[in-house]
Amino acid sequence: MLASYKYTGKKRRSQLVKFESNPEFTRETFTLLGGAGGVRAIGLGMLLAMTFGVGAVNVAQAADAGNTGNGVLTLADPAYTNAVLPGDYTVVCTTGGADAVSKFRVEDPEGNHVGTATGGTSFAKHIKFTIAGGGTDFVEGDRFVVSVAVELGAATNKVVEWDPDAVDGTERIWGVSLVDLEAPDGEDVSGGLALRRGDVILAGQEIAWPDGITDDQKAAAVVELEQMRMIVR
């Protein structure tokens, strides 16, 4: 009786990508961020996230001309975390008063509640700032707008592995790796290639899901990919 052998070869792009409309449009190159305490390794089919480099994000703020309170919103340096989104954040007073009493609802550009800021106390979710009261207390409805511009193609931006449990922005999917790539400890490496947008159909069984991912996290990731016009089947 002849012996039988099972051979497992290296995964190919054609196994992951079932359909791709136009590689010139759907793909994008990237630089892999250097490892932190060891080698950072990504593989074909891994989901990726983006970290923003210095100069890639510009943040400005403005108080509403109709505000009653004459306090000021001062941006931190830097004025954002990796969770920041491009667009206008609104900071609206929900409880009037002086510092330590006044409260402000912070919403992202999509209208989602990010958190509640307290007068006189630093706020650091998506955007980072401190609101200080003035001679006239804030009242309900007083408002600030924090505008964020993100240069997604900035050379200082680096890619890392997607982490569904993160809260620093790397929980948002940037793309799907089309290569195997390693970055030594502290040394960024270019040469990355990823699927960034559709129209694309991906083989679900070929996606390299992170260890410990829950079914809910996986389902949410599939929805996020679909919003990027990358369908998982």
On whether both 82 and 63 belong to a single domain, the answer is yes
On whether both 45 and 61 belong to a single domain, the answer is no
On whether both 117 and 45 belong to a single domain, the answer is no
pLDDT (tens digit, 9 = 90+) per residue, 224-233? 999 999 999 9
The reported pTM is 0.74
% the chain with pLDDT above 90: 86
On whether both 37 and 122 belong to a single domain, the answer is no
CA 83 to chain centre: 5
1, part of any domain: no
DSSP-derived 3-state class of residue 10: coil
* pLDDT reported for residue 3: 43
* pLDDT reported for residue 9: 54
Of residues 19, 91, 86, 49, the one with CA closest to residue 177? 49
Residue 153: pLDDT over 50: yes
Of 150, 179, 204, the one marking the end of a domain is 150
221, part of any domain: yes
On whether both 184 and 69 belong to a single domain, the answer is no
Domains in the chain, number: 2
pLDDT (tens digit, 9 = 90+) per residue, 89-148? 999 999 999 999 999 999 999 999 999 999 999 999 999 999 999 999 999 999 999 999
On whether both 165 and 86 belong to a single domain, the answer is no
On whether both 119 and 146 belong to a single domain, the answer is yes
Q: Which CATH number characterizes residue 169's domain?
A: 2.40.300.10
On whether both 21 and 49 belong to a single domain, the answer is yes
Question: In this structure, what token pair is assigned to residue 115?
Answer: 């958190």
**Cα 42 to Cα 46: distance, rounded to the nearest angstrom:** 7
On whether both 140 and 175 belong to a single domain, the answer is no
On whether both 136 and 158 belong to a single domain, the answer is no
8, part of any domain: no
Given a contact cutoff of 8 angstroms between Cβ atoms, the answer to whether 162 and 48 are in contact is yes
Residues of the domain holding 170: 13-53+153-232
On whether both 125 and 168 belong to a single domain, the answer is no
Question: In this structure, what token pair is assigned to residue 131?
Answer: 């609101």
Given a contact cutoff of 8 angstroms between Cβ atoms, the answer to whether 181 and 8 are in contact is no
4, part of any domain: no
On whether both 179 and 207 belong to a single domain, the answer is yes
